[in-house]
Structure 1
Amino acid sequence: MALSDLRDNIENIIFDLDGTLWDPMPMSIKAWHTALNGFDCIKNPISEEDIQGILGMQHDLVGKKLFPYLSEEQQFEVMNSCYVQEVNDIKESGGVLYHGLEATLKTLGKKYDLFIVSNCQAGYIEAFYEFHGLSAYFKDFECSGNTGLSKTENVKMVIERNKLTKPIYIGDTMGDYTAAIGNQIPFVFAKYGFGDVPNAEHSINKIVDLELLF
């Protein structure tokens, strides 16, 4: 089914954030380096590949993957420092919005209600809204940092809380695909992001492709 064929079956659009609406990598690398410099227990410098490998992962599971040699208490302390630094850096300098994002949101918002569900920490989406001035385009959001739940459960929460009918989910990772399938809603794969979803029926090569829905 072509992306345009979804048009008559969509009333709401739920977006992932990282790799779907923006590229957080320059901001994240800077923030993590700043935060980790304060810990003598970190064995190796964090790399871009390390951070790319955890994008889309539920935020409270990241420490176990990146720092398995630390105790749970140390992991929590280290990750909390990184997450706080990220939010602060977003508030100060933002991230890299994908080309045409705001114009696309403005166009889509004329017909659809828009939402965000991400596996990020608490405060991350609010900082994204604040620096880039995008809050007016979205009706609601949720993240694992607020709920401690999986993306599948958070998508379900947004659907139920807002009484959504005919929503779709747009994201760039298998976790996003799984969340859509788990809620029995269509999925659109953002091929320009950080993941690979070989089973995706629908895909876009850039964010502005979504204007085909309008």
Structure 2
Amino acid sequence: MATNVSFDSIIFDLDGTLWDSTANVALAWQTAKEQVDYVTDDITQQTVRSITGMAYDAIFEKLYPYLDTPTRDNFKALCAKHELDTLHELGGAHYPKLEETLTYLKSKYRLFIVSNCQSGYIEIFLKHDGMAQFFEAHQCYGTKGQPKFQNIKDIVADYNLQAPVYVGDTTGDRDSAAKAGVPFIFADYGFGQVEDGFVARISQFEELKDIL
């Protein structure tokens, strides 16, 4: 599906769009769970997939409503530490043709990342397999505690983007892009289901080369 729109820049979501780290995040959070006595259920890859794309604070509120706030915050901090340690060592699974597609896109567009992740998470992605060379800047929930739409707006304003497009995989991504006034491309190979509100839809990351 061609967009029939000219863009000068692309802002990407991370999880479910550029890579899938859910298996190793689940491993990290399960390690944290085994260190405490107040979390009842094991944490699986499906658990992590079910909340991917949510703001980091909201994830733990949804998964552990039975914990009081101080206890939940302690567990969130423990999970965050193990997550960064585990991903620093193991990384995540890049979607097929990621590097060659980014190489093509970089030759035509300015590239950015905006994610709802914790601070330090995008940096780990950028360090794996030389991803940093492709992206001019990034922003995340953990930096300022802002909703995704505001982080998208900040990237647009800070880098004077005239015609950006946002690529993501969830309704939250679509809604955030809309609130930021940025067109949305839906990556349907990711974790979400989006029925409308996109200017194009891709089923493989490399399809961006065909539509942009």
TM-score, length of structure 2 as denominator length: 0.96
Q: Distance in 2 between matches of 1:64 and 1:26?
A: 21
SS of residue matched to 2:196: coil
Please say if residues 27 and 44 of structure 2, whose CA atoms lie closer than 8 Å, have aligned partners that are also in contact: no
Q: Structure 2 matches for 1:78-97, cutoff 5 A?
A: 78-97=75-94
Q: CA shift at 1:203, angstroms?
A: 0.5
Q: Distance in 1 between matches of 2:23 and 2:41?
A: 19
Q: Distance in 1 between matches of 2:181 and 2:2?
A: 17
Root mean square deviation, CA, Å: 1.1
Please say if residues 92 and 131 of structure 1, whose CA atoms lie closer than 8 Å, have aligned partners that are also in contact: no
Deviations 1:165-208 (A, max 9, x none): 10000000011001111122210000000001111431000000
Residue 182 of structure 2 is aligned to residue 147 of structure 1: no
Task: Look up the equivalent residue of 1:168 and give its one-letter code.
Answer: V
SS of residue matched to 1:53: helix
Deviations 1:12-62 (A, max 9, x none): 000000000011111111111111111111111123332112100011111
Task: Look up the equivalent residue of 1:155 and give its one-letter code.
Answer: I
Other-structure match for 2:187: 190
Q: Structure 2 matches for 1:123-134, cutoff 5 A?
A: 123-134=120-131
Q: CA shift at 1:132, angstroms?
A: 2.6
Please say if residues 190 and 207 of structure 1, whose CA atoms lie closer than 8 Å, have aligned partners that are also in contact: yes
Q: Distance in 2 between matches of 1:181 and 1:13?
A: 15
Please say if residues 26 and 47 of structure 2, whose CA atoms lie closer than 8 Å, have aligned partners that are also in contact: no
Residue 33 of structure 2 is aligned to residue 28 of structure 1: no
Q: Distance in 2 between matches of 1:208 and 1:85?
A: 32
Q: CA shift at 1:3, angstroms?
A: 2.4
Q: CA shift at 1:4, angstroms?
A: 4.5
Q: Distance in 2 between matches of 1:10 and 1:155?
A: 15
Task: Look up the equivalent residue of 2:190 and give its one-letter code.
Answer: G
Deviations 1:52-79 (A, max 9, x none): 1210001111111111111111111111
Q: Distance in 2 between matches of 1:110 and 1:85?
A: 36
Residue 66 of structure 2 is aligned to residue 69 of structure 1: yes
Other-structure match for 1:5: 4
Which 5+ residue runs of structure 1 have no aligned equivalent?
none
Aligned residue-pair number: 211
